[in-house]
Structure 1
């Protein structure tokens, strides 16, 4: 698993495997693909025949001049030329029609393939464990989902089309050249090994550089996304210049890699042109000698020179295709890296359900995050139905870890967590999470109306009155109705057009509307003013009646009424009891509680 952002894997990339997997996506439309290939090949064959036919027109004209003037004019067969020109016109029109239909078909195939890739990518992101999001930057994930997929869509159609044309052109022109003169053909073919040598020396390096370019682009996207999201904090701490310097560093790295990749891909064309021109000159000289000796007709030499010029085109196109394929494969590999990520495992246990009066039972729970030592080694806890359990402790004590385990964002390494006597690993994740509602310290609201944001939490269809009732319980209805559009107010991308406290109230209302069996509050009132906090606490008491709840809090004044307070440190429970019991104990919890009021004063 990668940590801390996008990185280049050390193992060599499977070029052929990635191409094969990409074409497997296209294979579901194999008949459309085959039709496009056939149409494109026919169009290319028509294009190949036109120089030979036009050459015959030149021969007709040359023969007429060679016979000398008869009756004051050269005996040129204009009827034959007319037929030749009509034939060429028909070939050009047919070529355009076939190529248009082939291109249209290929666009349909490629865009459908990219559609499937996006669908699979999005579906995969819902199946990877939460750990993947914790260890990979959002910028890199977005770069793969947008930039890499778009890169495939943008270049795939032209690449396939050029590949078909180039292969058919190469062999078709070769056949036509040999049908005119085998000696001139051998001379023209002498340039092929030199061209192949140039390609073999440059293409592999170019592919590696294109891969690095896409990776560095992911780094830069990650940095930009992070700085835009934290712009207020950056300005507050006067870190603008530092951010600009860091951006400059990342931009410079991308520039260096992109410059090398583009330079190598760009230098191929001049080199290929040089090789082509050398071959063209030699063929022109030898062809002129053959015409002067009568070994070849002028029209045939003209056609051969046209073929010689065109013969380099498939080579140049294949060179360009190789460079484009490097970029496509680099993007494809980055997408398949995500599609190959390990998914959340539905690992059930052989532990049968037991009869118990507990709502939740933590038995000898052992857990640690990937690549880290166990945070919890022997965690035990019993929670009765309807209890409000407060979880307190210093940063890193394991408070939020309990929430992650309850909702199965992570599974335990040892021991078990039981819900009403049944191991939660034996319960489907979706079914388990339907029984929870959660309000986090970091509010999440999407771009849409306030009404839709509140309704988002409902597990089933709810009425408008249910939305209004939930808002009133969360004391959000009053401020919502003061807005110009009320419940139809559109929240922007990060909901910055309302205050942080108001955003928190909306997330609480969203939890209310679910009518949850179990409620999780993770620093739910940390961003709310004191007056609003009191109102929320009153509403919470009504909401919590008959429900089991877990409350994570640093502000200990908010959990004085908890039925059970769990004090954690370094992943283990060190104290438990009510507020009064723990204060009377006068140890860790009492120290935390008193220190908050000392700091406040």
Structure 2
């Protein structure tokens, strides 16, 4: 019997992201590291002392030389500067350790939150949103947030510390020129404010184009076998090239805007620096305001450092804007409302296997008509039910409702007498297995694929019994590495019949009480179908089974065959009963199965 999965580790954003400003989200993400980050800021401030101390010491040394002051002052200033320079190395390592560990932890938790949210978002959501787009959010957007935080910390802290230290020294040594320095800050802030909104919109446009490109490339790689088989390489490349052109245009516009922004701020700030240098030199030349030669050098050095700091802060604007856009992009998943709600509902500890559909109906949100309506069916424990009908009859919708991927929009489904709307579907699915039309395998060994999700794996005897019952051992024993053979991405190294037998073994080893077979033999040749049918006959014993199939051999032995048209049941009975009745099954569907 399958062991239940252990409870998932809580994620920091499971219930906290509700569309607030991205900066608040970042603050919440870094909350566990707030003490570590505070210490990192203090360490950075100390290690950064030489940057704003150097102009002051340079001014002192020049004044000693010009005024022929005591030589001891020269050595004293030099010693202080050498000491703080040497101190920079251990402090830089400590800062890197503190800051990097916090940022990397944040990235891990953010990716964990995204992956967790994706697991709980409904199947309908995943049908609407491309897997490539979601992958981009987990990889590229989180990387963008990490880069923004790292660069903001390193470059932003350096600029801020230089500004604070420089202004403090100028206020102490030459307070008369302090107002001139303070003019630069509001002018720079005005420039940033005027351009920020446009940078944000361009970043959002570029991000959406990248997501579209990721979706297109994922689609292209999936369709390569079809593309090559029909000689459609140029068509496929044209679709991707069109998206690449849009990425190029959006990226080019963004780069031009960033370049324009950087150039304007550089010209503005350096023009002010030249004016400040010339003005202070004239004041010192005529002996006004008591400025010395050292003060002129200090003012010039500080103005260069402060303008560089302000330029850095303004150049950080597009980086921060891009990072915050990544936070918003991630938020599209974290705040998506289309969740499967299981919290606080009754846990399913055992299943008898009785299923009752009572006046059940379902309509997709975007649809004008119901996919299923007025569906009434009582299924006994251990009974095999086959659903047949033309495409669009509602068969797949019934299976999705049974699995719990979607919820009835009217009526209800009872599991052993309990309304499934009141049950924790995660615990219910421990007793359910699905064998789909295309077996989904991951790039791992046969052993790992068959025992996937079982806590602690499965013992060797149970694994071999399941594989034998699924008629899979006959091909596994011919493989060089046997059970440890790597199947390749999506099972690419195995045939369709071999993958399907592994899917049956995966279901058998879980010993499910409810089994769903969704076109499990439709894509197989006759030889493979015979092996699969033999394995399925063992799989269905003693279980409540729902089958959707188009082959007569798959459904003829079902206890009841349910014939559906446009979401309604039109006939129900065994294969022989329906043939004798001469209704829709006999006149319309049965000839399709005979081939």
TM-score (norm 2): 0.91
Q: Name the structure 2 match of 1:133.
A: 126
Question: Once the 2 structures are TM-superposed, how far is the Cα of residue 45 of structure 1 from its aligned partner?
Answer: 4.1
Pair 460,281 (structure 1): closer, same or farther in 2 beyond 3 Å? closer
CA offset digits 1:435-467 (Å, max 9, x no partner): 211100021011111122112265775321221
CA offset digits 1:476-520 (Å, max 9, x no partner): 111111111111111112211111221111111111212221211
Following the alignment from structure 2 to structure 1, what is the Cα–Cα distance between the partners of residues 357 and 18?
A: 45
Following the alignment from structure 2 to structure 1, what is the Cα–Cα distance between the partners of residues 273 and 490?
A: 62
Q: Name the structure 2 match of 1:379.
A: 375
Q: Name the structure 1 match of 2:42.
A: 38
Question: Once the 2 structures are TM-superposed, how far is the Cα of residue 562 of structure 1 from its aligned partner?
Answer: 1.1
Instruction: Tell me if the contact between 1:346 and 1:425 (Cα under 8 Å) persists in the aligned partners.
Output: no
Q: Name the structure 2 match of 1:7.
A: none
Q: Name the structure 2 match of 1:226.
A: 219
Following the alignment from structure 2 to structure 1, what is the Cα–Cα distance between the partners of residues 572 and 52?
A: 86
Instruction: Tell me if the contact between 2:550 and 2:593 (Cα under 8 Å) persists in the aligned partners.
Output: no
SS of match in other structure, 1:491:
coil
Pair 423,348 (structure 1): closer, same or farther in 2 beyond 3 Å? farther
Question: Once the 2 structures are TM-superposed, how far is the Cα of residue 193 of structure 1 from its aligned partner?
Answer: 4.2
Following the alignment from structure 1 to structure 2, what is the Cα–Cα distance between the partners of residues 512 and 563?
A: 21
CA offset digits 1:350-400 (Å, max 9, x no partner): 9xx9xxx98211110021223324222211011122211100111111111
SS of match in other structure, 2:393:
coil
Following the alignment from structure 2 to structure 1, what is the Cα–Cα distance between the partners of residues 301 and 527?
A: 86
One of 389, 392, 407 as aligned partner of 1:393? 389
Query: Which moves more between the two structures, 444-453 or 300-309?
Result: 444-453
One of 275, 292, 297 as aligned partner of 1:297? 292
Q: Name the structure 2 match of 1:207.
A: 200
> Gapped runs of 5+ residues in structure 1?
1-12, 65-75
Following the alignment from structure 2 to structure 1, what is the Cα–Cα distance between the partners of residues 80 and 451?
A: 68
SS of match in other structure, 2:378:
strand
Query: Which moves more between the two structures, 378-387 or 175-184?
Result: 175-184
1:337 aligns with 2:332: yes
Question: Once the 2 structures are TM-superposed, how far is the Cα of residue 544 of structure 1 from its aligned partner?
Answer: 2.1
Following the alignment from structure 1 to structure 2, what is the Cα–Cα distance between the partners of residues 263 and 308?
A: 28
SS of match in other structure, 2:477:
helix
One of 24, 28, 35 as aligned partner of 2:28? 24
TM-score (norm 1): 0.90
Instruction: Tell me if the contact between 2:343 and 2:424 (Cα under 8 Å) persists in the aligned partners.
Output: no
Q: Name the structure 1 match of 2:12.
A: none
Q: Name the structure 1 match of 2:64.
A: 60
One of 576, 580, 584 as aligned partner of 1:584? 580
CA offset digits 1:546-573 (Å, max 9, x no partner): 2211110022332111110001111111
Q: Name the structure 1 match of 2:319.
A: 324
Q: Name the structure 2 match of 1:516.
A: 512
Following the alignment from structure 2 to structure 1, what is the Cα–Cα distance between the partners of residues 101 and 55?
A: 32
Instruction: Tell me if the contact between 2:497 and 2:532 (Cα under 8 Å) persists in the aligned partners.
Output: no
Pair 148,397 (structure 1): closer, same or farther in 2 beyond 3 Å? same
Following the alignment from structure 2 to structure 1, what is the Cα–Cα distance between the partners of residues 417 and 105?
A: 48
Query: Which moves more between the two structures, 510-519 or 387-396?
Result: 510-519
Following the alignment from structure 2 to structure 1, what is the Cα–Cα distance between the partners of residues 427 and 191?
A: 60
Question: Once the 2 structures are TM-superposed, how far is the Cα of residue 46 of structure 1 from its aligned partner?
Answer: 4.3
Following the alignment from structure 1 to structure 2, what is the Cα–Cα distance between the partners of residues 426 and 178?
A: 69
Alignment of 1:136-155 (within 5 A): 136-155=129-148
Following the alignment from structure 1 to structure 2, what is the Cα–Cα distance between the partners of residues 476 and 586?
A: 39
Instruction: Tell me if the contact between 2:283 and 2:291 (Cα under 8 Å) persists in the aligned partners.
Output: yes
Q: Name the structure 1 match of 2:301.
A: 306
Q: Name the structure 1 match of 2:4.
A: none
Instruction: Tell me if the contact between 1:140 and 1:222 (Cα under 8 Å) persists in the aligned partners.
Output: yes
> Gapped runs of 5+ residues in structure 2?
1-16
Following the alignment from structure 1 to structure 2, what is the Cα–Cα distance between the partners of residues 594 and 542?
A: 25
Question: Once the 2 structures are TM-superposed, how far is the Cα of residue 419 of structure 1 from its aligned partner?
Answer: 1.8
Q: Name the structure 2 match of 1:236.
A: 229
SS of match in other structure, 1:494:
helix
Pair 102,280 (structure 1): closer, same or farther in 2 beyond 3 Å? same
Instruction: Tell me if the contact between 1:187 and 1:279 (Cα under 8 Å) persists in the aligned partners.
Output: no
One of 262, 265, 287 as aligned partner of 1:269? 262
Following the alignment from structure 1 to structure 2, what is the Cα–Cα distance between the partners of residues 257 and 202?
A: 17
One of 526, 533, 537 as aligned partner of 1:537? 533
Alignment of 1:152-551 (within 5 A): 152-294=145-287, 295-342=290-337, 343-346=339-342, 359-372=354-367, 373-456=369-452, 458=454, 462-551=458-547
1:118 aligns with 2:114: no
SS of match in other structure, 1:482:
coil
When the two chains are superposed, the root-mean-square deviation of aligned CA atoms in Å is: 2.4
Question: How many residues are matched?
Answer: 571
Instruction: Tell me if the contact between 1:453 and 1:510 (Cα under 8 Å) persists in the aligned partners.
Output: yes
CA offset digits 1:185-215 (Å, max 9, x no partner): 4344444444333322222211111122222
Question: Once the 2 structures are TM-superposed, how far is the Cα of residue 157 of structure 1 from its aligned partner?
Answer: 1.6
Instruction: Tell me if the contact between 1:390 and 1:562 (Cα under 8 Å) persists in the aligned partners.
Output: yes
Following the alignment from structure 2 to structure 1, what is the Cα–Cα distance between the partners of residues 453 and 53?
A: 67
Pair 14,575 (structure 1): closer, same or farther in 2 beyond 3 Å? closer
Instruction: Tell me if the contact between 1:519 and 1:547 (Cα under 8 Å) persists in the aligned partners.
Output: yes
Runs of at least 4 residues of structure 1 off by over 6 A?
Answer: 13-16, 347-350
Question: Once the 2 structures are TM-superposed, how far is the Cα of residue 594 of structure 1 from its aligned partner?
Answer: 4.6
Pair 381,230 (structure 1): closer, same or farther in 2 beyond 3 Å? same
Following the alignment from structure 1 to structure 2, what is the Cα–Cα distance between the partners of residues 197 and 22?
A: 25
Following the alignment from structure 2 to structure 1, what is the Cα–Cα distance between the partners of residues 304 and 343?
A: 64
SS of match in other structure, 1:417:
strand
Pair 98,447 (structure 1): closer, same or farther in 2 beyond 3 Å? same
Question: Once the 2 structures are TM-superposed, how far is the Cα of residue 583 of structure 1 from its aligned partner?
Answer: 2.0
Pair 458,288 (structure 1): closer, same or farther in 2 beyond 3 Å? closer
CA offset digits 1:323-376 (Å, max 9, x no partner): 1111111111111221112221238999xx9xxx98211110021223324222
